[in-house]
Amino acid sequence: MFTSIRGLSVLVTGGTKGIGKGLAAAFAAEGANVVIVGRDREAGERAAAELASEGGVVSFEPGDVSSAESCAEVVAATLARHGGLDIVCCNAGIFPSASLAEMTPEQLEEVLGVNLKGTFFAVQAALPALRSSGRGRVIVTSSITGPITGFSGWSHYGASKAGQLGFMRSAALELARSGITINAIMPGNIITEGLADLGPEYLATMEAAIPLGRLGSIEEIASAALFLATEEAAYITGQTLVIDGGQTIPESLEAMG
């Protein structure tokens, strides 16, 4: 249905687990050459081996997106491996909970450092390669939490996810003349290892608040990202795509009918 992305070079930060691993799997299944990034070397190599065993070209590069130097090294490794870089998925993220009353400056810095500054650093590092590509794509994994909704204990997380959208809109203008698009996907509650850690009670409460009656799958997020990376999405930039089973629509539980 869409023009093939076979042979394109893709970098997925936070690609070793959860949504990012799903993004990597989806791009690899379409024949792209994928590099996944995370801090945990063992988990990363295991994930890359698993994805490669499914037939894709997937390898791991250790990196920490909260460091500009590390992002530059990861991009350099990708260029050495695949000769270019066409698509960057800024997906690495953390979501520790901390009440505003108790949050330390270090906790705030950590969340902003990974989720928000990490997005800046990854895009900055990839910029020359994306310009050379001629059809560069950046896909940011934001969230409904922050840009649309709030959640007690996640003010730092929500600020980081809303901040990613502010970054994206100005970046879209700066990158447009280089033929690079940048868009954000905004997942609702998606079943990942990270979300499962929040416990069965959290998951059940969430399901009850979602009009489609279930949490989303990693594959449902990946297919949206894949679309934004296609040739057919070349005229879409600076935009957001909410993928939440309708979670942000009802005014109240009563409104669900």
95, 121, 154, 167: which one binds ligand NAP (CB under 6 A): 95
Nearer to ligand NAP, 72 or 178 (CB): 72
93, 146, 147, 245: which one binds ligand NAP (CB under 6 A): 93
Site string for ligand NAP, 116-145 (x = CB under 6 A): --x----------------------x-x--
Task: Provide the edge-to-edge strand list for the sheet that holds 240-243.
Answer: 57-62, 33-38, 9-13, 87-90, 137-141, 181-187, 240-243
To ligand NAP, the closest distance from the beta carbon of 177 in angstroms equals 28
Task: Work out whether 14 is an interface residue with ligand NAP (CB under 6 A).
Answer: yes
Six token digits for residue 143 = 């969230």
Query: Based on the number of CB atoms within 10 Å of its own CB, is 197 exposed (0-12), middle (13-18) or buried (19 or more)?
Result: exposed
Q: How many CB atoms lie within 10 A of CB 110?
A: 16
- CA–CA gap between residue 64 and residue 187 (Å, rounded): 23
Contact 8, 86 (CB under 8 A): yes
Select the span of 53-61, 125-133, 190-198, 246-254 touching ligand NAP (CB under 6 A). Answer: 190-198
9, 13, 59, 133: which one binds ligand NAP (CB under 6 A): 13
Select the span of 23-31, 77-85, 167-175, 186-194 touching ligand NAP (CB under 6 A). Answer: 186-194
Residue by residue, DSSP assigns 23-90 as HHHHHHHTT-EEEEEES-HHHHHHHHHHHHHTT-EEEEEE--TT-HHHHHHHHHHHHHHHS---EEEE
31, 179, 194, 238: which one binds ligand NAP (CB under 6 A): 194
**Which is catalytic among the residues 32, 157, 167, 218?**
157
Phi, psi of 101 (to 5 degrees): -65, -30
9, 192, 237, 247: which one binds ligand NAP (CB under 6 A): 192
Q: How many CB atoms lie within 10 A of CB 77?
A: 18
Task: Work out whether 59 is an interface residue with ligand NAP (CB under 6 A).
Answer: no
- Catalytic site includes residue 157: yes
Q: What is the contact surface with ligand NAP in residues (CB under 6 A)?
A: 13-14, 16-20, 37-40, 43, 63-66, 91-95, 114, 118, 141, 143, 187, 189-190, 192-195
Catalytic positions = 157
